Amino acid sequence: MVVNLQSESTATKLGDVLKYGDIIYLQHMNGDYLTQFSKGKTSRYHWPKLGKNKKLGKNKKLVESNNIQLQILGDSTGELTDGAVIRLKSTESLPNQQNVLGCWVDSHDCYYWIDNFHNKKQSWQINKRDRSGDNKIRQGDDVYLTNLHYKNQRLARCTRYDGYISKAPYANEWWQLKSEVEQEDTKITSEGAFLESVFEPNTRTFSKGNLAYLAYFAEAAYSTPEESKAKLEKLGFQINGHEHYLEFPDTDTEGLMVGDDEKIIIAFRGTENLTDWMTNIKLLKAAWKVGMVHAGFYQSLGSLWPEAIGRLNSLRNNNQPIWITGHSLGGALATLAGATLDQEMPEYEIAGIYTFGQPRVGDQIFAQSLDKGMKERFFRAVNNNDIVPRIPSMKFSHVGKLLYFDSDGNLRENILLSWLNWTAWCDRLKGYYKSTVNLEFESDSVGDHRMGDYRRLAMRQLDKV
């Protein structure tokens, strides 16, 4: 029997121990809170979203907000401890009393439904991310929320529908339960501070921390100038206006570039419409210093290059190492940018390149030439059945070291990705099967290309729980 306590929160400040019956706000590690959903819509009318904070008043507290309050319910009373099972019930007045957060087999999303509809699917095990202290759950602690029915499935951002929440296996995404919505003195979020702590700007070998850090940038490159500025400020970068944003509208080429005393990061945006891009891709080649490269990729980088070099020169005042990343088409541009700097402008130190779901860029001569000087610093991530790394196929070759995420989300280095390789073939077939069983109506080869999934898989490699 679930105890439904209608009491005011006893935990009123950060550090207070939380109890069953407390009313809290749920904050994601990226700083966003769970917010109200739009009423009266026939679609997604009971899906909560992660929203942005609104105007700030005195004492840095929100004057206006649509963040929702949730009550912590359970089959017990007293203080919350590590491993406790809870239910989260919205205090909003919702249609048909559909206000208990759960997750369901027919969707990646988590959404509200009527109380006691399915106890396990609407129950969450709460675990502390840092277990070095006692086992009590306090306000402001970083915690994981794992669904009781779907084993190992944690509450996380949705990678398919922007702004919504979902479940994901072993997602390394944490939350904070707070009695008040406040704006911290710094813009750096819990997620940002963590990523900065694991990034190794001076390493030249593979680093899981660098993989996750640069995946954040590759995803941020898809954002608008204002949105990307906010995301990069959450990592601690100081940005004036839109100086970080690189854009050449004629070729629809965009990217980001920021730096501090220790490093410079360049991230290229991929294509917004994968289907159109795959349909219209042209296989023309252009001459490179050594070998041949894809003419379209070459043109796209060339259109943005003068602006990029100008920005790079303004940032590089301390001989900082340069890191380059990108997803999809952005990965191809990252490859050519790295090749240009390494082979034609050696005064710029390329510390490393990490790409996600990138297509092939050049012929075998180009690939061998780039690998000769860059292979130990170039890492190319591929997610299971992602189709983009398999194109263009005719006389194009990949570069760098392969990082393969298998169908279970595990990272495997330097596996041979070929249908002639029995292990890889079986794993890709397993991925197709999972997408069918889980009622994923999006093609597995297209779904595996989402940058949000790459970011989540990269973060998962750093999960110590």
Q: What is the percentage of the chain residues whose pLDDT exceeds 90?
A: 59
Cα–Cα distances in angstroms (integers) from residue 226 to residues 66, 191, 229, in the given order: 21, 19, 5
Residue 88, pLDDT above cutoff 80: yes
- Assess contact for 35 and 96: CB atoms under 8 A: no
Q: How many CB atoms lie within 10 A of CB 108?
A: 21
Residues 155 and 235 occupy one common structural domain? no
Domain boundary among 133, 152, 178: 178
pLDDT band, residue 436 (cuts 50/70/90): very low
Beta strands in 140-250 (DSSP E): 143-147, 153-157, 165-169, 175-178, 245-248
Residues 364 and 441 occupy one common structural domain? yes
Which DSSP category does 434 fall into?
Answer: H
Residues 377 and 273 occupy one common structural domain? yes
For residue 5, the model assigns a pLDDT of 39
Picking from 290-304, 338-352, 407-421, 426-440, which range would have the lowest pLDDT averaged per residue? 426-440
Which DSSP category does 64 fall into?
Answer: S
- 8 domain-assigned: no
For residue 46, the model assigns a pLDDT of 74
Which residues span the domain enclosing 149?
16-55+63-178
pLDDT band, residue 7 (cuts 50/70/90): very low
Residues 355 and 312 occupy one common structural domain? yes
What's the rounded Cα separation, in Å, for the pair 330 and 256?
A: 11
Residues 141 and 214 occupy one common structural domain? no
CB-based contacts of 257, cutoff 8 Å, min separation 6: 244, 246, 264, 265, 266, 267, 308, 311, 312, 315
For residue 184, the model assigns a pLDDT of 53
- 368 domain-assigned: yes
Q: How many CB atoms lie within 10 A of CB 275?
A: 10
**C-beta pairs of 131-135 under 8 Å, 24+ apart in sequence:** 131/82, 131/465, 135/81, 135/82, 135/83
Residue 75, pLDDT above cutoff 70: yes
CATH number at residue 391: 3.40.50.1820
Chain segment 154-189, per-residue pLDDT in tens: 999 988 888 889 999 999 999 999 988 766 545 788
- 4 domain-assigned: no
For residue 154, the model assigns a pLDDT of 95
What's the rounded Cα separation, in Å, for the pair 396 and 267?
A: 23
User: Regarding beta strands 264-268 and 253-259, do their DSSP bridges make them parallel or antiparallel, or are they unpaired?
Assistant: antiparallel
* Relative orientation angle of helices 208-220 and 451-460, to the nearest 10 degrees: 160
pTM of the model: 0.87
Residue 60, pLDDT above cutoff 50: no
Residue 85, pLDDT above cutoff 90: yes
Domain boundary among 146, 178, 210: 178
Picking from 199-208, 372-381, 382-391, which range would have the lowest pLDDT averaged per residue? 382-391
Residue 382, pLDDT above cutoff 90: yes
Q: For residues 390-416, b (16+ Cβ closer than 10 Å) or e, as one string? A: eeeeeebbbbbbbbbbbbebebeeeee
pLDDT band, residue 44 (cuts 50/70/90): low
What's the rounded Cα separation, in Å, for the pair 195 and 216?
A: 9
pLDDT band, residue 57 (cuts 50/70/90): very low
- 28 domain-assigned: yes
CB-based contacts of 186, cutoff 8 Å, min separation 6: none
Q: How many domains does the chain have?
A: 2
Torsion-angle region of 187 (φ positive above 0: left; ψ -120 to 50: alpha; else: beta): alpha
Residues 84 and 205 occupy one common structural domain? no
Which DSSP category does 388 fall into?
Answer: G
Chain segment 305-343, per-residue pLDDT in tens: 999 999 999 999 999 999 999 999 999 999 999 999 998
- 11 domain-assigned: no
For residue 432, the model assigns a pLDDT of 45
For residue 39, the model assigns a pLDDT of 56
pLDDT band, residue 379 (cuts 50/70/90): very high
